[in-house]
Structure 1
Amino acid sequence: MRRLIESGNGFHNLKKEFKCESRNIFAALTSMVFVLAGAIPMLSSVAASAGMTSAQAASFVMCSMAVGGLISIFASIYYRTPFYFAGSLTAIVVLKPMFDQFTLPEMVGGFIAAGVALFLVGYTGMIGWISRYLPLPVILGMVAGVFMSYGLDIVRSIASDPLSGALIAGAFVAFPLVTKKVPPHIIALAVGIACAVFLHSGEADGSAGSYGLSLPVFTGPDFTSNVFLTVSLPLVIMAVADVFKGYGVLKANGCDLSLNSVTVLSGLGSILAAFGLGHTISLAGPVMAILAGEDAGRRERRFAGAVIYCGGVLVVCVLSGILIPFIMQLPGTIIDLICGIAMTGLLVSSLQGAFGTGRFQMGALAAFLIGLSKVSILGIGAPVWAIVFGWIVTLCMENGQWRQMIARGRSEKKETGPAADQAVMD
């Protein structure tokens, strides 16, 4: 019988092996920037546009992050590897228009279906088939195209609010000249809050709701056929792309684990989070790049930094009922600017992965342009069509490269095991 997840170190000798270094703590604190300056403002922006109440918005943020944090603590300890599962940031990009089309129960139904699909993709080993036949640059081209709207929001925000925009963007760009020990994202967030307090103090309308500790808001699902194609399918594609990116980070830092296990954990977390309005859970590549990198301490102890960081994430989640109403009161231009700045790293890495390898560039370009267009055909969003037409362009115009990829994958499967693990590095 197939194992649910691959066996790891387990919980034996944990007391002896869990030794925290100063670099582990610094990596954890640095990673927290992406929660405070990236994930929370982005999730808050989606919640506000969806018309959620303060309680629903806090639950949306809490379940998207807390479930992933708990799974991350388990996986980091069980495999002695720095993991961070969280609500997919790439999926957030496509959630805004979906909330306009469907009710919250229908969205929950779509989230659950996406989680079940992710679980099956991992448990059946289908993730390996996907990695063998679908070029990673095409996936990343789609991601870059969808992400690009956040980059454009930086320009639009500065144009519509020049003073605040110049102060926030200027602090982000110039602060590394002062010191590289403090991430510029946290400085941009601090300046953004200062601008909201001193330059936009009269714009808050008090409609965000009451403040308090966060508790999950249970929402029952409503399953419809249209939501499966419009909501579930794009979220699965986004989550799979995140799995590839996050796993690639682990491989690049000398860590190894079956893609199947990672995808199974993502699916189970997504199903659990969905009942509290949380969306698909997947690997968070930028945070893992910090937690698993050389600057995070000795390789055998880096998992300790991930555990500390995830503990901090759980504290932030409990306080999200206080943080979210406050963030939802920030001016839209400031939120868009902070979110755009937080996404710059992901945007750059996606563009590099799509066009930096010199392979599958026409397929990646097609996926990028369609993802950027936000076109919807037959009720199915641009991310799905970007993958479909990007793959078709690759088969027609880059067939030789595609056949070489297939042949190399089969050869590596015979020599080293599942091709899925090797294809991530292509």
Structure 2
Amino acid sequence: MPKPGASQSSLSAIAGITTGLVGFLSSFVIVIAMMQNLGATDGQIASGLLVVCFAIGITTLFLSYTSKAPITIAWSTPGAALIAGAFAAGEGDSEMLARAMGAFIVAGILLIATGLIKPLAALVSRIPSEIAQAMLAGFLLAYCTEPILVLASEPWLAGPVIVVWLLALWLAPRWAIPAAFVASCVVIALNFNSEAVEGISILPHLEFVMPSIDGAAIVNIALPLYLVTMASQNLPGLAILKAYHYKLPWKRSMVTTGFMSSIIAPFGGLTINLAAISAALSAGSESGVEHLKRWRSAMWSGYTYITIGLFCSAVVVIISAAPSEVFGTLAGLALVGTFAGSVAGAWKNPAEHSRMPAAVTFIIAASGVTILGIGAAIWSIAGGLIVRGIILARKQAQEDKAETHAEHQ
């Protein structure tokens, strides 16, 4: 709660800086895990974090200033989690990374098309949210079990991080992952591996990755990334702003985020989108900022992301020095909230035509199966839609039969 007598300027700064810090610290480990699984080097990961933080900051500043609404931007946390779960650690290489960057460009183009072509946005919104959420939950399952597995095998590495996370959940839930990160830093310091950070620069720098446009990567990375970003970020972000009585310039937002996503991809940048959960930190009344002035909070969030971007190389150095078990624990804990939200969204509707398709989608996604070169993300959505169609068709046939029987009575 804001302090009595605090000025609107200071309240805006507090709300915006908090938005930026929470947005970054609660999910940056997921982005790093994704890049590692794709085969990125530490330098490429640092480059990717730098450009995506700058893209988030600049886009937030542009949209919030031009619309005078608290529009905040974030990276696609669900998209990063989806991709990280789809590729096992050590599986990636330079070719896979190049194909992934090409897929990121395509995902950005699809976002631009969504802003320019209204029927495309309408089509995406018709995909049942429970199916999209179940797909994401399926991919997150393996990651979220990692802390328990590490705790069983290496309790002195995972234990302190988990304990701090649990205490923070009780005392300050919003800061649970940042607190766990601090605990991880302590564990890393006690188990520091100087050889792991040799040759890694802590200065901000860019590394170019020549993108490769590959059909399989478009199907297995670009399309799932686009769909989960729309379903889990952009549409909820729109709903949150509407709930706080703000008008979102949809076309401008989609075109801008899509354009920025495409141009940062060759430097390792992940797709960006409307912030969803963290959006309320700047747009909500809890900040104490007057309704018409909350766009200034979003501006502060943008400045915060740009500042954080300058220190991303140092963050990567810390992660590189960490035992893999510590990072796996931290990444798993960071994904628990996203997993919980996905599960809740997947099974929020008790109706059979919603519950059963979600279950099928979840099972296929969790299997990680690849058939005919097409990954589990697309198969899970297809499986869920097929089961949903069968259940709805059966229900319609039963209703038609009952109606016909009634007419003959």
With normalisation by structure 1, the TM-score equals 0.81
SS in structure 2 opposite 1:282? Answer: strand
| Among 160, 178, 189, the residue aligned to 1:167 | 160
TM alignment of 1:22-421, pairs within 5 A? 22=11, 25-26=14-15, 28-29=17-18, 31-39=20-28, 41-96=29-84, 97=87, 100=92, 102-177=95-170, 179-180=171-172, 183-198=175-190, 200-201=191-192, 203-207=193-197, 209-241=199-231, 242-257=233-248, 259-297=250-288, 298-359=290-351, 360-398=354-392
Q: 1:195 to 1:227 in 2, by over 3 A?
A: same
Q: Deviations over 1:204-226 (max 9, x none)?
A: 53346322321222233222333
Of 229-238 and 180-189, the range deviating more from structure 2: 180-189
Q: 1:176 to 1:228 in 2, by over 3 A?
A: closer
Query: Which AA in structure 2 matches 1:29?
Result: T
Q: 1:161 to 1:116 in 2, by over 3 A?
A: same
Whole-angstrom distance in 2 between the partners of 1:148 and 1:81:
36
Deviation for aligned residue 1:71: 0.8
Deviation for aligned residue 1:261: 4.0
Structure 1 residues not aligned, in runs of 5+: 1-17, 403-426
What is the CA RMSD across the aligned residues, in angstroms?
A: 2.8
Q: Deviations over 1:93-113 (max 9, x none)?
A: 243429727443332222212
Query: Which AA in structure 1 matches 2:143?
Result: Y
Whole-angstrom distance in 1 between the partners of 2:346 and 2:8:
38
CA contact (8 A) 1:214 1:321 kept: yes
Q: 1:100 to 1:282 in 2, by over 3 A?
A: same
Deviation for aligned residue 1:253: 2.9
SS in structure 1 opposite 2:273? Answer: strand
Whole-angstrom distance in 1 between the partners of 2:203 and 2:362:
41
CA contact (8 A) 2:98 2:210 kept: yes
CA contact (8 A) 1:160 1:333 kept: no
Query: Which AA in structure 1 matches 2:175?
Result: P
SS in structure 2 opposite 1:343? Answer: helix
SS in structure 2 opposite 1:378? Answer: coil
Query: Which AA in structure 1 matches 2:150?
Result: S
Query: Which AA in structure 2 matches 1:350?
Result: S
Structure 2 residues not aligned, in runs of 5+: 1-6, 397-409
Q: 1:36 to 1:227 in 2, by over 3 A?
A: same
Whole-angstrom distance in 1 between the partners of 2:159 and 2:35:
27
Whole-angstrom distance in 2 between the partners of 1:110 and 1:367:
23
CA contact (8 A) 2:20 2:304 kept: no
Bigger Rg, which one:
2
The percent of aligned pairs where both chains have the same amino acid is 22
Count residues with an aligned counterpart. 382
Q: 1:157 to 1:394 in 2, by over 3 A?
A: same
CA contact (8 A) 1:27 1:296 kept: no
Q: 1:339 to 1:231 in 2, by over 3 A?
A: same
